[in-house]
Amino acid sequence: DAGVIQSPRHEVTEMGQEVTLRCKPISGHNSLFWYRQTMMRGLELLIYFNNNVPIDDSGMPEDRFSAKMPNASFSTLKIQPSEPRDSAVYFCASSLLGTGAGLANIYEQYFGPGTRLTVT
Amino acid sequence: GEDVEQSLFLSVREGDSSVINCTYTDSSSTYLYWYKQEPGAGLQLLTYIFSNMDMKQDQRLTVLLNKKDKHLSLRIADTQTGDSAIYFCAERTGGYQKVTFGTGTKLQVIP
């Protein structure tokens, strides 16, 4: 498996522009997470989906941010309009939520390589 | 509430042991994890421990869990330059997969 795929790897845009980040989770995984990493705030969970349904979006900073998961193999994180303070590395991660507890399922999250976003 | 705290930076000499510490606040944590982030990459699971365990050893790695004090530590024996990275402590609580990550500890290994 290719692992979690994110695109683009780098994005430079001007303030006010719309930015769309893309993620393809590992095939067969049923949970997907979007994180943001900055020096000041560390790693923040923005939103996560289970079976394509958003479960918790309490980490989304404001209405300028939106995320969708139209099917099991694709998700987008959109920022409109973008601002300089949105500059960060955005990670997508996927995981398999099993139906039983125990040693067989430790709910490991597999992270993509990240998208480095710079808003000028 | 969920809050996971770590010191920001640790520097050790090659060949020495490294100990990275973490404190968490949610006593209902079920799994606790250590993830490693190398420069320019995403996080990778390094090891984990169930909340009903006190210790777990995996080659050069030893994880200690003190549930009473809500303290988790990661010991790396014979630290190598390749161990230089950011190490994140994380806890999982609740029925779904929400995992709360710590702030990360940057480990610098001096040759």
E runs forming strands in chain B: 4-6, 9-13, 18-24, 31-37, 43-50, 55-58, 61-66, 71-76, 85-92, 99-101, 105-110
- What pLDDT score was predicted for residue B51? 87
More confident of the two residues B35 and B94: B35
- What pLDDT score was predicted for residue A70? 97
Mean confidence (pLDDT) of chain A: 91
Tokens of A45: 């969970």
pLDDT over 70 at A103, yes or no:
no
Query: A12 with A118: CB under 8 angstroms?
Result: yes
Mean confidence (pLDDT) of chain B: 91
Nearest CA in chain A to B8: A42
Q: Is B48 on the interface with A (CB under 8 A)?
A: yes
Segment 4-63 of chain A within 8 Å of chain B by CB: 4, 31, 33, 35, 42-43, 45, 48, 50, 55-56
Could you read off the pLDDT of B37-62 as tens digits, one per residue? 999 899 999 999 988 899 999 999 99
pLDDT over 70 at A104, yes or no:
no
Could you read off the pLDDT of A24-80 as tens digits, one per residue? 999 999 999 999 999 888 899 999 999 999 998 999 988 999 999 999 999 999 999
pLDDT over 80 at A99, yes or no:
no
Contacts with B99 from chain A: Cβ below 8 Å: 45, 107, 109
